[in-house]
């Protein structure tokens, strides 16, 4: 419990500090090489926004995705969504849900939804751990 509270407090503090220092982002990286940059946070609601840069191998490495999320303190939970609607080759939405596992790490599960060439929705699932860098 202490670790989670510490991780959330650090996330909010880091983002708040970054905002006060001319908009520098709070940067997190997954073990797969994806980068999550938080540019804005609303301390009253726990919502945040920024950009997610895909680090996965395959057809879309390095592609940017919009990022919106929320830190839910009473539930000890972090949830965010990444989406790209402007790139036909890399379009998709991924929903992430997780909990802190240390002072500067968050373990997540994700569900990615894309549209196949035949129009059918395709869902893939996985896990990632993000660490603040």
The domain ranges of the chain are 2-132
Give residue 32's pLDDT: 87
* Spatial CB neighbours of 81, under 8 Å, sequence gap ≥ 6: 67, 68, 69, 93, 94, 95, 96
- How far apart CA 22 and CA 115 sit, in angstroms, is 38
* Spatial CB neighbours of 104, under 8 Å, sequence gap ≥ 6: 7, 10, 131, 132
Instruction: Per residue of the chain (133 residues), give pLDDT as tens.
Output: 444 333 444 444 444 444 444 444 889 999 989 999 999 998 889 899 999 999 877 678 889 999 999 998 776 799 999 999 888 788 999 999 999 998 889 999 999 999 988 989 999 999 999 999 9
- DSSP string spanning 53-80? E---SSS-TT-EEEEEEEEETTTTEEEE
Q: Which CATH class is domain 2-132?
A: mainly beta
Q: Which helix (H) or strand (E) holds 128?
A: strand 121-132
3-class secondary structure, 119: coil
On whether the pTM is more than 0.95, the answer is no
């Amino acid at each position: 419990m202490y670790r989670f509270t510490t991780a959330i407090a650090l996330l909010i503090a880091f983002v708040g500090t970054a905002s006060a220092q001319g908009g520098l982002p709070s940067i997190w990286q997954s073990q797969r090489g994806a980068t999550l940059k938080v540019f804005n946070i609303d301390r009253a609601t726990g919502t945040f926004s920024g950009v997610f840069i895909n680090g996965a191998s395959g057809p879309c490495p390095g592609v940017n995705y919009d990022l919106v999320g929320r830190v839910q303190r009473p539930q000890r939970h972090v949830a965010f969504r990444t989406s790209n609607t402007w790139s036909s080759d890399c379009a998709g939405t991924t929903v992430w849900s997780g909990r802190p596992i240390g002072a500067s790490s968050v373990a997540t599960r994700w569900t990615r939804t894309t549209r196949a060439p035949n129009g059918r929705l395709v869902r893939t699932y996985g896990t990632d751990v993000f660490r603040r860098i």
